[in-house]
Each structure stands twice: as structure tokens, then as C-alpha cells.
Amino acid sequence: MKGLIFCKRTVKEILRDPLSYIFCLGFPIIMLIIMTIVNESIPKQANMTVFQIQNLAPGIAYFGMTFVMLFACIQVSKDRNTALIMRLHASPMKSYDFILGYTLSVIIIALLQLAVTFLASYIVAIVVKGELSIPGMFMSMLSLIPSAIMFISFGMIFGTLVSEKAAPGVCSIIISVVGMIGGIWMDIDNMKGAILNISKWLPFYHGVKASRLMLAGEYSEMIKPLAITIIFMIATYVLAIVIMRIKLNKDTR
Amino acid sequence: MANALEIKELKKEYGSKAAVNKISFDVEEDSLFALLGVNGAGKTTTIKMLTGLANPTSGDAMIFGHSIVNEKELVKTFVNLSPQETSIAPNLSVRENLEFMAGIYGMDKEKTARKTQEMIEMFSLQEVEKDKAKTLSGGWQRKVSIAMALITEPKLLFLDEPTLGLDVLARRELWNVIEKLKKEVTIVLTTHYMEEVEALADKIAIMVSGEVKAIGTLNELIEQTGTKNLEEAFVSIAGKN
């Protein structure tokens, strides 16, 4: 219950910050429009499909989750530096109330962002005469939830370990890595070599792949990438819980 | 009168340095106890231990008969503090901040609404109740911060330098609020303002380098030191070390 009350407060704090709308909602839409224009400029003979709407929509939705990580990170690190958190530590709140509160609040923001991204993608698909099915988009959204939790976990870990000033810098490293080797802006499968190998060792490529396969309705193909994504989600969330608990206990020593 | 707080040999070490060194004193129920000291004297560390924000290295304190060491979680339910820095959720309105704290302490909807209204009236927050906390002046923020502590119905309230940085008028207004609170809750106050202590405190302790060097009523301290007022008494005690 205390976790839910803390969640409600955190949602309000995030939604009342204008930056949330710029990064969480405005950014994916702008990227979608820009990349669609880029795609329209690419000759068909180039056979480049990564910016076509059926690949672009889940890719941008996934990339948007990295900004959700940034928000989780900033919120946690910002809270740590305020006296409000001192007041809450002196209250009957437990460490799991904090973890639940942060997780739920940022998941709400992530779902909102996913919904806006896919809605905008659907409109773009109509304009460019692309193909996006509503059930496919819904399934793709569902497949992105484990990735959202994984990125929220990253956000909580960095937010717990680094200062509010350092938080955006640390997150930008992950954002850049996701952009490069997640297969969002380039076709990793056709690149082969070291890039493909590195991508397969990290969760981002699999998360993007699962969401694209879900959108395409290729459910049998998506089991493996989705399973890998879920394993990474569990690992990072457990790590986030351990780190936050250690830090909270350390703060009261 | 019964004691709200009984501190026994309470000690806090950070590394090899003792921030608080085996202090012992009692605070009577429904009184205002002032903890004085220069910066780094150990006032805030003492409050942190008593509110569960820091674990004592040794010693203990009983708050209404419950140990801060062995019954920390229970003690947290009837103790609250208004920290030195303004501790409010900046993007929440005044009313939402109060409701948030009531919820954290497990109040149901009906009680939350009733207590919130009560605090708004007690602290005269009507004109700012819908304003975001971050837009308020320092004086308003301090009032909200104390109201957030009081809404949880604490039996013992710690006010850590509540008037720090406020102008004279805002400080006087807050004194009136604290004066009213004295009738309802036991208060431990830390401050650097001697006139604040003279106006509000029933009993005073002076801390120097983590130790309690003197304790008593205003008149007792003046008498002990052979001085004319609290400021001189404080300088006489704290200046010796």
C-alpha cells in the first residue's frame, strides 16, 4: 500500500515535469517522422527495410524505453539528494515500498509512451501506405514490457549509484549502445562479424527483434529473443533490488 | 510528569570520530526541549539516531518506553521530524503533500481528508493549498514541512532548525505555530537562534563536540554560568571547549 502511494506521488512528479513530455512523448514522435522521411528518400533498389514502418515502429518504441531508463535514473538520484527522502526513510516505509513505487510509476510512463508511439506509427503507416495491424501493435507492446522493466532496473541501479548530475551521462552510454547494436538504426543481421556477435551477447538486439516479430505475427520465431529478454529483465531487476536495498541499509548505518 | 524520551549513553561514531559521545538526558512529555550547539556539535546526528535514520554505535534511547535500537520500526510509527532542509515533494501541491504523508503512515481516505483539512486550517495554508510546493516562499515551505510531520500524529516531533534562513516575520509566525503545537505533542527542537529558545523552550541542552555540556531550564543555565542571558550562557559553556 505504501509502495502504491509512493508510486502515485512519483507519477505526479514525473508527469508535472515538462521535460517528461519532451523526452517521453515528443522525442519518439519526432524520430518517427524524421526516419519516415529518411525512408522515403532511400531508393527501393537499396533494399533497406530497417526504416520501413513495420520495423521502425517497434524499433523506436524500444529506443523510447531508454529514455524511460533516463527518467527512472534521474528520479531516483534526484530523490536521494532531497530531504524528502530523509523524511521517508524516517517513516514506516520499507525498501521494497521504494522499489515497488519506482517500478510501478515508471512502468505507467513507459506504457503511456508505448501507446503514443504506436498510435503515431499507425497514423504514419496510413500516410505512407504501410502495413501495421492493430493486434500486431498490441502484441508488440506487450513484448516490450520486459524490456521496459529491464531499462527501469538499469535506471534504478544508476540512480542509486551515481549523483543527479552524473545520471544523464551514464544513461547516455546505454542509450548510445542500444542505438548502435540494438538493430534499431541499422540492419545488424546483414552486418555479420563482431557487431552481430556482440549484439547477441547483449539484450537489446533480442528485445528489438522480439517486438518486430510480434508485430509481424511471427510468434514461433519470437520465443527465443523474448525468452532472452525476460532472462535479462529478471537479472537486472534482481540486481536493482539488491543494490537499492544495500544502499538504503548503508544510508542508515 | 512522565518522560517522552530517555536517552542513555547514546554514541555514534563515524570511523574513529565520535559525532555523538555517550549522551544521556530525558525529555518530559508535552514539553519543548531545545538542543543547542555550534555547527558539528552533534545535534543533527542525535536526531538522526532518534528517528531511525542512523543506527547508534552504542547506547540506546527509549521513546515512550520503546527502544530505538530493538523496536526501531515501531518507534517510527509515532515519531516524526521536519528536517533541516525543506523536505517536500516539489511538484505536488500543498494539499497533495499532506495527503501523501498521511497515506504513507497508513491513514484511510476518510481520515486522510479530515487530517489534511485540519492541518491546512491549523497552519493557515488555505491560500496556498493548491499551489505546487516548489513555488512557495521559504516561510510557507517550512510551514508545510512541519504540517507534513504533524499530520502523521506523532507523539514526539523533532524540528531540526525549523526557522533557518527565514526572515523575522516568517520566523515569528512559525514560533506562534510551534507554541500552539507544544500543547499537543512533545517537541525536540534544534536551532542556532537563542531568542527562539528563550521564547519557546521549557528545557535546554547545550551540546559541544558530541557531548552534552549543560542541561536545564533557561534560568538554571543563566544561574549556573552567572551570565545575563542565554546567549552569554551559551558562549560561556560552548566557548570553553
The full DSSP string for A33-56 is HHHHHHHHHS-GGG---TTSHHHH
Residue A116 buriedness (CB in 10 A; 0-12 / 13-18 / 19+): middle
Indicate the SS3 state at residue B188.
strand
Please give, rounded to a whole number of angstroms, the shortest distance from the CA of B13 to a CA of chain A.
Answer: 10
Which pLDDT does position A159 carry in this prediction?
A: 93
Tell me whether residues B104 and A91 touch, CB distance under 8 A: yes
Residue B139 buriedness (CB in 10 A; 0-12 / 13-18 / 19+): middle
Q: What is the mean pLDDT of residues B162-185?
A: 84
A-chain CB neighbours of B52 within 8 Å are: 89-90, 252
Pairing of strands B186-191, B17-28: unpaired
Q: What is the mean pLDDT of residues A21-50?
A: 85
Which pLDDT does position B240 carry in this prediction?
A: 67
Which pLDDT does position A144 carry in this prediction?
A: 96
B-chain CB neighbours of A2 within 8 Å are: 103-104, 106
Q: Nearest Cβ partner of B89 from A1, A13, A251? A: A13
> What band does B241 get if pLDDT is binned at 50, 70 and 90?
low
Q: Pick the closest to residue B95 from B48, B50, B127, B137 (CA basis).
A: B127
Which pLDDT does position B46 carry in this prediction?
A: 94
Those residues with Cβ within 8 angstroms of residue A90's Cβ, 6 or more apart along the chain or in another chain: B51, B52, B53, B76, B79, B80, B81
- In Å, how far from its chain's centre is CA B151? 15
Q: Nearest Cβ partner of B89 from A9, A90, A91? A: A9
A-chain CB neighbours of B87 within 8 Å are: 82-84, 86-87
pLDDT at A120 over 90: yes
Mean pLDDT over each residue of chain B, to the nearest integer: 91
| Chain segment B201-228, per-residue pLDDT in tens | 999 999 999 999 999 999 999 999 999 8
Radius of gyration of chain B (CA): 18
Tell me whether residues A253 and B96 touch, CB distance under 8 A: no
> What band does A1 get if pLDDT is binned at 50, 70 and 90?
confident
Q: What is the mean pLDDT of residues A92-120?
A: 92
Which pLDDT does position A253 carry in this prediction?
A: 60
Cell of A124: 504514419
Which pLDDT does position A18 carry in this prediction?
A: 85
Please give, rounded to a whole number of angstroms, the shortest distance from the CA of A56 to a CA of chain B.
Answer: 35
Q: Which residues sit opposite B66 in a β-bridge?
A: B63
Using CA atoms, how far apart are residues A75 and A232, in angstroms rounded to an integer? 23
**What b/e readout covers A124-138, taking b as 16+ CB neighbours within 10 angstroms?**
bbeeeebebeeebbe
Q: Are B10 and B26 in contact (CB under 8 A)?
A: no
Distances (CA, A) of B163 to A192, B8, B38, B226, B229: 66, 29, 16, 29, 21
Q: Which residue has the higher pLDDT, A124 or A191?
A: A124
A-chain CB neighbours of B51 within 8 Å are: 90
pLDDT at B73 over 80: yes
Please give, rounded to a whole number of angstroms, the shortest distance from the CA of B81 to a CA of chain A.
Answer: 7
Using CA atoms, how far apart are residues B168 and B164, in angstroms rounded to an integer? 11
Using CA atoms, how far apart are residues B73 and A235, in angstroms rounded to an integer? 30
pLDDT at B1 over 80: no
Using CA atoms, how far apart are residues A222 and A208, in angstroms rounded to an integer? 10
Residues belonging to chain A with any Cβ–Cβ distance to chain B shorter than 8 Å: 1-2, 5-6, 8-9, 12-13, 16-17, 82-84, 86-93, 251-253
Using CA atoms, how far apart are residues B31 and B8, in angstroms rounded to an integer? 19
Those residues with Cβ within 8 angstroms of residue A41's Cβ, 6 or more apart along the chain or in another chain: none
CA dihedral for A202, A203, A207, A209, sign (positive or negative): positive
ipTM field: 0.86
pLDDT at A40 over 90: no
Which pLDDT does position B181 carry in this prediction?
A: 84
| Chain segment A45-89, per-residue pLDDT in tens | 777 788 889 999 999 999 999 999 998 999 899 888 888 888 898
Residue type, B53: L
Using CA atoms, how far apart are residues B41 and B197, in angstroms rounded to an integer? 17
Pairing of strands B203-208, B211-216: antiparallel
| Chain segment B114-148, per-residue pLDDT in tens | 999 999 998 889 999 999 999 998 888 988 998 99
Q: Nearest Cβ partner of A90 from B51, B89, B100? A: B51
In terms of CA atoms, which chain A residue is nearest residue B75?
A92
Q: What is the mean pLDDT of residues A85-105?
A: 91
Which pLDDT does position A164 carry in this prediction?
A: 85
Mean pLDDT over each residue of chain A, to the nearest integer: 90
pLDDT at B86 over 80: no
Using CA atoms, how far apart are residues B9 and B24, in angstroms rounded to an integer? 5
